Structure 1
Amino acid sequence: MPKTDTILSTKSLQYFLQLIDTMNYTQAAQILGITQPALTQQIKKLERAIGTPLFGQMGKQLYLTEAGKELQTGAIKLISTINNVVSDIQEFTQADKGNITIGVLEGVDAELVRQFLIKFNQATPDIITGINYFNRKDLWYNLDNNLIDLAIFYVPQTMKKSQSNLQNQYDWMKICSDRLTILTHDSKLEAGKSYLPAQLKNRQWVAYPDHFYLTKMMKAKFGSKINVKNGLKAPMRFSSTKQLVATAEETSYDTFVSGVYYQHHQEEISLTPIYLKDEQEYTISVIYRKGKNDVPRIKKFLTEFKDFLAKQADK
């Protein structure tokens, strides 16, 4: 048996792809739940089996070699194929067994999902659920290629013609309404009121990175009024909402979060919550490929999640 048959396993390829996600052996090993030496050994086995390095290093920074890029493409396709086969088989199994993978858009507050998963796990412990966070491009890629079962996105209330692909190829279920919430130090502004962007034109911000949905909403509202070369006047940027708010609290900078996040953490936040006039409405929604709801475990998940959300709304 060729050594590639034993080395190029699904597990080794998943280790390889996880290392690409972080480009850091320590972080990748922590996510995988293994030791760093064990991960290093697996990567070296892959490289020996293939006969060429998959990663290079410039200083302390890892990068993919051309061979690594080729294997990345093949690994994604292979794991996607395996997942599709397993998913097809599990469609004919019981509704209380199998795996459900959930992708969440960076910046989305998934606290309601986390709370539901606890109850769902207690009722159906043989269904294994997992959540990973992605940027919008990677989340769509994973959803399109069936690498995840469900995706949690921000979805505008009004669908554009350019989003007809979403309507034609996918179904979705609303989790909750949400709104952009400004957290400000300005004592002249009243909590819960809406203000024009011009009334905040001299503020500086702790912001999410430029590609985050809420940052794009802010830039669309403020336009050139407070734009500098690289966007909003944001001397500090974080992808973590918790770090974003903590930094705003410890500095003179304002920030912005989702309304859902503020609702869940308002007792911990001393900044004043305000809103922008004529802001774009949006929802947090679960999106999935058409036909996915025919899979018994997915149907069970979505049905029970819908019931959970209805009970939350009644509280």
Structure 2
Amino acid sequence: MKSKQESIFSSKTLTYFLQLTETMNYTQAAQILGITQPALTQQIKKLERTVGAPLFYSVSKKLRLSDAGYTMLHATHNIYELLNEATDEIQQTTSANHGQIHLGILTSIETQVLEDFAVQYYQDNPDIHVTFHMLTRKEIWDGLENNEIDLAIMYLPDDSIKNWKPYDSKKIMSEDLLFIHHNDELADKKRIKPKKTLDCPWVMYPVGYYLDQMVSEEYKNQMVDQPDIVARFTQPGQIYRFMKATNTYSALPKSYLMSLPDRDEITTASFDPQIKFDLSFVYRKAKDQIPRIAQFLEQFDSYLQEKDYYQRLDDIVAKKQGGAK
């Protein structure tokens, strides 16, 4: 017979409970978990019977956490934190030359430099297996919290995360968001005010994506209208191809535009004031003390010391152009 602790703290029970606290909707949570809504409801009711109090209540058909629910949520996060710390502590005694490294990379990032480094890293460390996961910001933070990814590669600062206490970051390079257009009247402008970019429809990232929020916030700060965005895509290549085919406006990171073989055919300008941000590693505190993670970060530093990020992008473009001849 299971003890009360086993009933409460089974992995499945906590997973179901956490997912419901994130969506606050039984139907959505069940779909994400891949189970039926009655099955989820049954598990939550079972958990409530075990702890002896309701964890959720409804107000105008909206689900809310009870006081007991908040206590359980806090305890669940503490449990996961302890498990993550134990995992990291164990891994700190492992070899630097064996194991796996999971990278969570923001989907809007241009990855060719990272891909080239992965090739070199594998050649130097064939017994360490590196996995690239292209993720949204929410998926990255969930992965970091649950110890499913070791290193995130993303843009900072990120105001969507209020509690940075469990995390550290390491800057890779500074980025500049560039305005892209086909307007001959703007061709000689190296810098452009947001109010001068509103005479044509835009293509951009989806609402809630980091760079879409950066643009939206800057235009709000400058007290000008938001761009008329007629299409949205998750990847910079999709945005770029749509922009070229439709003569719409857009804004993309300098690193992506530098990676294009046809970059001389497009017209860009920096925003005035500039929209700048950092490409960075983000990881749980002490994660960089795990031998294989520390070695990975050290080798990446050396990789960029030989040639910086933009120089390596130039090399990639030169290879592409040479191969096309």
Amino acid at match of 2:217: A
Is residue 88–residue 286 contact of structure 2 (8 Å, CA) maintained in 1?
Answer: no
For residue 65 of structure 1, report the CA deviation from its aligned partner.
2.8
| 2:109–2:236 CA contact under 8 A, matched in 1 | no
Partner of 1:145: 146
CA distance in 1, matches of 2:80, 2:284: 18
Match of 2:281 in 1: 286
Give the number of aligned pairs: 251
Q: Which residue among 298, 301, 309 is the counterpart of 2:304?
A: 309
Q: Which moved more, 1:99-108 or 1:86-95?
A: 86-95
SS of corresponding position for 2:122: helix
Identity, % of aligned positions: 27
Asked if 1:100 corresponds to 2:97, the answer is no
CA gap of 1:196–1:120, structure 2 versus 1, over 3 A, is same
Q: Which residue of 1 aligns with 2:180?
A: 183
- Greater CA drift, 301-310 or 169-178: 169-178
> 1:84–1:146: 8 Å Cα contact kept in structure 2?
no
d(CA) in 1 for partners of 2:237 and 2:42? 36
Structure 2: runs of 5 or more not aligned: 1-11, 13-29, 45-76, 312-325
* Counterpart Cα distance in 1 of 2:139 and 2:146: 10
| Counterpart contact for 2:88–2:287, Cα < 8 Å | no
Residue of structure 1 in register with 2:224 after alignment: 225
Q: Is the 8 A contact 1:101 1:148 kept in 2?
A: yes
Alignment match, 1:65: 36
Deviation at 1:163, TM superposition (A): 6.7
Shift of 1:98: 0.3
2:240 aligned to which of 236, 242, 245: 245
The RMSD of aligned alpha carbons is 3.7
Provide closer, same or farther for how the CA distance between residues 268 and 276 of structure 1 changes in structure 2, counting only shifts above 3 A: closer
> What's the CA shift for 1:148?
0.7
Distance across 2 between alignment mates of 1:132 and 1:268 = 27
Q: Which amino acid aligns with 1:66?
A: Q
Distance 2:151 2:217 in 1: 28
Question: How far apart are the structure 1 equivalents of 2:91 and 2:266?
Answer: 49
Q: How far is 1:93 from its partner?
A: 2.4
The aligned residue for residue 113 of structure 1 is 114
Taking the aligned partners of 2:300 and 2:253, their CA distance within structure 1 comes to 21
**262 and 251 in structure 1: CA distance in 2 versus 1, 3 angstrom threshold:** same
Measured against aligned partners, the alpha-carbon deviations of 1:37-85 in whole angstroms (never above 9, x if no partner) come to xxxxxxxxxxxxxxxxx769xxxxx975326768999xxx999999877
Q: Distance in 1 between matches of 2:295 and 2:43?
A: 33
Distance 2:213 2:285 in 1: 29
Are 2:208 and 1:207 aligned? no
C-alpha deviation, 1:154, in angstroms: 0.6
- Alignment check: 8 A CA contact 1:55 1:68 kept: no
Do the aligned partners of 1:90 and 1:98 also contact (CA within 8 Å) in 2? Answer: no
In terms of Rg, which structure is larger? Answer: 2
Q: 1:72 to 1:195 in 2, by over 3 A?
A: farther
- In 1, the alpha carbon distance for the partners of 2:172 and 2:192 equals 27
Instruction: Give the Å deviation of 1:130.
Output: 0.6
Where do 1:168-179 residues align within 5 Å? 168-179=165-176
**Do structure 1's residue 254 and structure 2's residue 225 form an aligned pair?**
no
The structural deviation recorded for 1:175 is: 1.1
Give the distance between the partners of 2:264 and 2:40, measured in 1 at CA.
Answer: 44
Measured in 2, the distance between the counterparts of 1:69 and 1:191 equals 60
What secondary structure is seen at the aligned counterpart in 2 of 1:304?
helix
The runs of 5 or more residues in structure 1 that have no matched partner are 1-12, 14-53, 57-61
- 1:275 aligned to 2:274? no
| Cα deviation 1:220-249 (Å, max 9, x = unaligned) | 22236333xxxx311111112111101111
Q: Distance in 2 between matches of 1:256 and 1:226?
A: 16
